[in-house]
A and B are shown apart, each in its own frame.
Chain A
Amino acid sequence: MSDTRRQKREGRWLAVGLYGYLALVMFVPLVVIALWAFYDPAVGWYPPDIVPTSYSVEPWREVLADRGIIGSLVLSLIISTTVTFLTGALAFPTAWALAHFPFRIKRAVEVFVLAPMIVPGIVVAVSLGEIFFRLGLTQTVLGVILVQTVGTLPLMIRILTATLEGIPGELMLAARTLGASPRRALMRIALPMAWPGFLAGGLLSFISSFEDFEKTFMVGAPGVQPLSVRLWSYLGGEILIFPTAAVVTFILLAPTLIIFFIAERLMKENVLAAGMGKL
């Protein structure tokens, strides 16, 4: 009895400590960014003021009046959606082969599929940037989609392979024996059963495409400006524009976090840990 009470008390202290940590590293910085997004440019916000003396929605009005931001948001959504579907379509057959056919070069293919996670992204981004330049694909949406897919494909293949390995091969065989055509067996058995994998991998692909900066920047800038590249232009230039950057940060984070929490709810616990815990 006293043991459980002690456990409860310890749990409470643990919660206090962990939430304190969370507040320090997560909420305080986000609140400061929120303050920058709502400060009053007419009054300013200078040290030593801890909080602005006056608030306004002026930064938001400024950003939203600039047509480019909405365009960037739409462009980001279009690119990420396309990348997600392309990744799923490309990954499925490969994952199917890896999951169901034992073949000699299987381990080699697995390692190769993993390789884009091992080689630093900047190497491929810079090199592809140069190749795409020769092909006339730099500063095109197509080029950005192609380079981002290199980043999303490995995780999708891993997650789909893990999901498909869970589907017994006999199931497909049974469907075939009962007279289903290969296509019908695929559509009615394999794809529906692989759905959790598609969902998890798809959401992660979407997020990773939406937040990608480096590959997109090397191949697409300055012609193609999704949100992340636009944010860069407010922070990486000669002058820092904090309020604008703060507003764009929220526009960028909002869809990401919404999708992320949907994914958290839908995904089985630790899909990522299962996918990446062993290389």
Chain B
Amino acid sequence: MTAITEDHTRRAMAKRDQWARNRTILLLLLPGAGYLLFFFGLPLLRTVVGSFTSLDGAFTFDLWVELFNEPVYIDGLFFSLWLAIAPTVVALVISVLLAALLQATFPGRRIFGALYRIPLVVPGIVAAFLIMVMLDRGGMLSRIAEPLGIDLPRMVRDEWGIGAILASTWKNIPFMTLIIGGAMSAINRDVLHAARTLGAGRLTVLVRIQLPLALPGISAAVLLTFISSLGSYAIPNLLGPAYPLPLSVHMYEQGFRRGNWPIVYAMGTLLSVAAIFVLLAYYSLIGRLTGSHARRGSRS
């Protein structure tokens, strides 16, 4: 009899403890997560809901129909993707090389390690300004090339967005190098030495060992660079052509200049979906990587 009541009270106390714990956790989460819920979750929800709402508040697909039937926006979507993919690819190639080279020791390595990161904290506008003074007509490069008889192609406000791509690339290289370098330096040195001893060249070691083992870091860097370039506004606005405009610029123009908010919400939702799509691709890649490691591990 007493045993049962004791058991009961213990269970009741455990329950009360559990409840108190949950309340504590909730209270602790409230400032940070609550803030994001209010100032990030709410606007995002509003964007998504707004993209399906007509002016009189009814559910509608009209905005999406409009978005996908307007060549200006279709071109804008492809240009946004282009301005996100191209810098990611270029920055990735350079960053992998830099990260691999930075694994070696050389005189002045510490100072280089600090200096190459400067673009990390340089605002996009300043990156755009650098490109302007260097590559625009009358910029430094054309002043050097002209006496040599070299006619440079247009690189600022050109139709391929070369200036914008170079600015995004410049800004993202240190970030990618930092993350990829971190992943590479976590690789066990003995593995690299073993491969070298067994006769693998440097390139083979890089391609067959360092890159696959650093893949989680590489894919994270690719993901974040892609997303930050996808939504960038200042760089394409300053360096990009008058047509096509990326969706980020359309969003500002349609929203704040014309007050055409519903279409802005549709574009915002589209950009977010593109970003989340890439995130899911990342998770499935990581899942497959760790999954195959686990399988291999259990087999041995």
Fill in one digit per residue for B226-237: 1 if any A CB lies within 8 Å of its CB, else 0. Answer: 011011111001
Q: Which residue from A32, A121, A128 sits with its C-beta under 8 Å from B231?
A: A121
Q: Which residue from B37, B43, B130, B170 sits with its C-beta under 8 Å from A128?
A: B43
Interface hit among A65-73, A94-102, A173-181 = A94-102
Interface size of A as a range:
35 or more
Are B129 and A14 closer than 8 Å at their CB atoms? no
B125 within 8 A of A: yes
Complex Cα spacing A32 to B139, Å: 9
Are B143 and A97 closer than 8 Å at their CB atoms? no
Are B32 and A95 closer than 8 Å at their CB atoms? yes
A130 within 8 A of B: yes
Complex Cα spacing A89 to B35, Å: 11
B217 within 8 A of A: yes
**Residue of B117, B123, B271 with most chain A CB atoms under a 10 A cut-off:** B123
Known contacts A33-B129, A123-B268: A279-B123 contact under CB 8 Å: no
- Find chain B residues with CB under 8 A from A157 CB: 32
Complex Cα spacing A129 to B25, Å: 32
Q: Which residue from A109, A249, A270 sits with its C-beta under 8 Å from B33?
A: A109
B134 within 8 A of A: yes
B36 within 8 A of A: yes
**Residue of A29, A103, A128, A257 with most chain B CB atoms under a 10 A cut-off:** A29
- Find chain B residues with CB under 8 A from A19 CB: 108, 112
- Find chain B residues with CB under 8 A from A14 CB: 101, 104, 106
Complex Cα spacing A32 to B128, Å: 14
- Find chain A residues with CB under 8 A from B126 CB: 231, 249, 252-253
CB distance from B262 to the nearest CB of A (A): 11
CB distance from A130 to the nearest CB of B (A): 6
Interface hit among B58-66, B274-282, B292-300 = B274-282
Are B44 and A127 closer than 8 Å at their CB atoms? yes
Complex Cα spacing A89 to B121, Å: 23
Are B143 and A128 closer than 8 Å at their CB atoms? no
- Find chain A residues with CB under 8 A from B44 CB: 115, 119, 123-124, 127
Please name the residue on chain B nearest to A33 by beta carbon: B133
Known contacts A122-B231, A252-B123, A279-B223: A130-B261 contact under CB 8 Å: yes
Are A109 and B29 closer than 8 Å at their CB atoms? yes
- Find chain A residues with CB under 8 A from B163 CB: none
B248 within 8 A of A: yes
- Find chain A residues with CB under 8 A from B144 CB: 50
Are B125 and A235 closer than 8 Å at their CB atoms? yes
Complex Cα spacing A219 to B40, Å: 14
Complex Cα spacing A126 to B257, Å: 12
CB distance from A52 to the nearest CB of B (A): 11
Are B106 and A249 closer than 8 Å at their CB atoms? no
Complex Cα spacing A176 to B282, Å: 43
Q: Which residue from A15, A129, A211 sits with its C-beta under 8 Å from B122?
A: A211
Complex Cα spacing A232 to B21, Å: 49
Are A277 and B238 closer than 8 Å at their CB atoms? no
- Find chain B residues with CB under 8 A from A236 CB: 234, 237-238
Are A115 and B40 closer than 8 Å at their CB atoms? yes
Interface hit among B1-9, B69-77, B179-187 = B179-187
Known contacts A231-B125, A274-B182: A97-B28 contact under CB 8 Å: yes
- Find chain A residues with CB under 8 A from B181 CB: 270, 273
**Residue of B40, B98, B122, B228 with most chain A CB atoms under a 10 A cut-off:** B40
Are A94 and B29 closer than 8 Å at their CB atoms? yes
A18 within 8 A of B: yes
Are B101 and A29 closer than 8 Å at their CB atoms? no
The 9 closest A-B pairs by CB, nearest first: A120-B231, A94-B32, A273-B182, A127-B43, A97-B28, A11-B106, A211-B123, A123-B268, A122-B231
17 CB-based A-B contacts, threshold 8 Å: A10-B104, A18-B106, A29-B140, A90-B31, A97-B29, A112-B41, A118-B275, A119-B40, A123-B272, A127-B43, A129-B255, A228-B123, A231-B123, A240-B132, A249-B129, A260-B117, A279-B220
B residues contacting A by CB (< 8 A) are: 21-22, 24-25, 27-33, 35-37, 39-44, 46-47, 98, 101-102, 104-109, 112, 114-126, 128-130, 132-134, 138, 140, 142-144, 146-147, 170, 175, 178-179, 181-183, 216-217, 220-221, 223-224, 227-228, 230-234, 237-238, 248, 251-252, 255-256, 261, 264-265, 268, 271-272, 275-276, 279, 282
A-B contacts besides A207-B121, A213-B123, A278-B220, 20 pairs, CB < 8 Å: A18-B112, A25-B170, A36-B133, A48-B143, A50-B140, A89-B31, A92-B31, A97-B24, A115-B44, A117-B224, A121-B231, A122-B232, A128-B43, A228-B123, A242-B133, A253-B126, A256-B122, A272-B178, A277-B220, A279-B282
